[in-house]
Every structure is written in structure tokens, then in C-alpha cells.
Amino acid sequence: MKTSKKSSLCSVFCKTALLALGCAFGLALVPSPSLKAADTAMAEKMQCVPLTATFAKVADAEKAPYVLTLKNDSKDTIKASAKVLLAVAFHAEAKARTIPELVIEAGKSGTIADLAAGDKVVVSAAGFCPLELTVK
């Protein structure tokens, strides 16, 4: 069997081009160290939402049996929003439930009801890193 020089050259060229393209995409996906440092500095400046979370089980609940109580430990009123990522959801329903904005005054508490075991609650407020909780 004879191989021509033309097909060998084409094969080598194509392999080299694919290798160079792969390297270029690989470098594009790696974040630069300066971006990583900026993200780390930003995360260190942001404190977590100053809320103390406690779960309570409601004995005779018609819906999901857990209630989350969020107590404001700061000296300022906090406007927090929350999203509940459901542990169990039917295919026709949304997999997350958005909680209306909670305005919790200093020293007071707010509640999120109808939680089930395994649900994940993400509480966020402007200027703070989010608080992630799991119902156990």
C-alpha cells in the first residue's frame, strides 16, 4: 500500500491545528490569578447575613412539617429574600419556591413555613453573602 506525501502532510497539519485549538480553549477557561484574587477579596469583605436560623417541627401541620425561624442579630433592619429548593417536587411543579421579601427589624424574627426534610433554603440580603441552610 502506498501513502502519498500530500495526505501525510495534511494529517500532520490537521493534528497540529487541533492541538493548538485545544490549548487555546483550555487557556481561555482558566481564570487569571488577578480575577481569583479579586473574587477572594470581595468574598472576604462580605459578611454572611446576620440571621440566626432555627428549625422547628410542627406536630399537626397540614403541609410540610418544618418551620424556619430567622432572628435578626444586627442593629439594623434587614430586608432578606429567600428561595426554597424543594427536596421532593412533582414533574408538573416548579423545583424551587420563592419566598416574598422578609423585612426583619433588629432583634425580631421572621419565619418561613411549609418546609420538608431535605429542602434547601437560600437566604440573601443586599451587601451580605447568602446563607444556605438544609432542613434536617
| pLDDT tens profile 97-126 | 999 999 999 999 999 998 999 999 999 999
pLDDT tens profile 15-63: 776 666 666 666 555 555 555 555 555 555 568 888 999 999 988 767 7
C-alpha cell at 96: 424551587
Residue 77 has a pLDDT of 93
Residue of 93 and 38 predicted with greater confidence: 93
- Cα dihedral 98, 103, 105, 110 sign: negative
**pTM for this structure?**
0.63
The alpha carbon of 47 is separated from its chain's Cα centroid by a whole number of angstroms, namely 16
80 has a pLDDT exceeding 60: yes
Cα angle: 70, vertex 71, 73; to 5 degrees? 135
Q: pLDDT band at residue 64, thresholds of 50, 70 and 90? A: confident
- Residue by residue, what is the 3-state secondary structure of the chain? CCCCHHHHHHHHHHHHHHHHHHHHHHHHHCCCHHHHHHHHHHHHHCEECCEEEEEEECCCCCCCCEEEEEEECCCCCEEEEEEEECCCCCCCCCCEEEEEEEEECCCCEEEEEEECCCCEEEEEECCEECEEEECC
Say if residue 6's pLDDT is above 70: no
**60: Cβ–Cβ under 8 A, 6 or more apart, which residues?**
none
pLDDT for position 68: 94
Question: Which carries the bigger pLDDT value, residue 22 or residue 88?
Answer: 88
